[in-house]
Structure 1
């Protein structure tokens, strides 16, 4: 392969915003079965062009992924924080070379205090407008912050819904407030 496959390609899943853990787990198991060295060798011996054998329409014959690559893809996409960072790196790599350089640039940092807070369904929602004109281009929910905090994180990567701008947002969860 000339290019390195993305984690989404390794697991053969779309790069959508909402992938459940169950969907990721199924894709992980499917990829393990599809690219397992023993299974691929057995299919080659047993089904190799036998009459009536169905032709494969996927790219499994041209793209081979190791168990380590599949495991890395699964673990990265399973963690919300790692997935955000990975998606950010994919976006940055897509922008390299456009207009003579990397248009993504470094990720600026903000504090959660730089966001406006409101309540929505008895939960806090933090928003910030973006320079692209989106009034609530950046949005972080209380649930997202609690999940990251539970994983020992004190920062979140947040992308604008209207453009490719990202911010690293630092926060501190104060119990009982």
Structure 2
């Protein structure tokens, strides 16, 4: 997940704003403060680590790097239609929908692990 979204800060936030947002998010996610919280504290810590490091921050701004390029023809169309899936090496699947393709999205994350693939396809004009 995008560390800026996770900590709810702007991309031009100062280090002081990032630190304050991190502490707010930790308090909101703390089990003693919010029993029903579904926020992963480890993910918050990782987001803060990334946003507080100039080198990691540079990589966060460039987005995920795909593990491999996979052709849409290697995906399996699901019976419901308009959704295709491809197995990840972790055992879960990558899924891409017709609306993703209409929007020009090529980077597809695994449903379970942190792997991302670049899906190759062409949009056919009718």
2:85 to 127, 130, 153: 127
Deviation at 1:133, TM superposition (A): 1.5
> After the TM superposition, which segments of 4 or more aligned residues of structure 1 sit over 3 Å from their partners?
none
How many residues in Structure 1 have an aligned counterpart in Structure 2? 86
Aligned residues: CA RMSD? 3.9
1:161 equivalenced with 2:111 (yes/no): yes
* 1:143 aligns to 2:99 (yes or no): yes
Give the SS at the match of 1:143: helix
State how far apart, in whole Å, the 2-side matches of 1:14 and 1:129 are: 27
1:111 is matched with which residue?
71
Give the C-alpha shift of residue 118 in structure 1.
Answer: 2.6
- Indicate the structure whose relative CO is greater, using CA pairs within 8 Å and at least 6 residues apart: 2
Counterparts of 1:1-177 in structure 2, within 5 Å, are 8=4, 13-14=5-6, 59-60=16-17, 86=63, 88=64, 107-118=67-78, 120=80, 124-134=82-92, 137-148=93-104, 156-176=106-126
Larger radius of gyration: 1
Task: Please give the TM-score of this superposition, normalised by the length of structure 2.
Answer: 0.50
What is the CA-CA distance between 1:141 and the residue it aligns to?
Answer: 0.7
Note the alpha carbon deviations across 1:94-129, whole angstroms, 9 max, x for none.
xxxxxxxxxxxx621111101011353xx5101111
- Listed as ranges, the gaps of 5+ residues in structure 1 are 1-5, 16-23, 36-58, 64-82, 90-105, 149-154
CA distance in 2, matches of 1:175, 1:168: 21
Deviations 1:107-164 (A, max 9, x none): 21111101011353xx510111122112xx100010010011xxxxxx6111211122
Match in the other structure for 1:55: none
Matched residue, 2:54? none
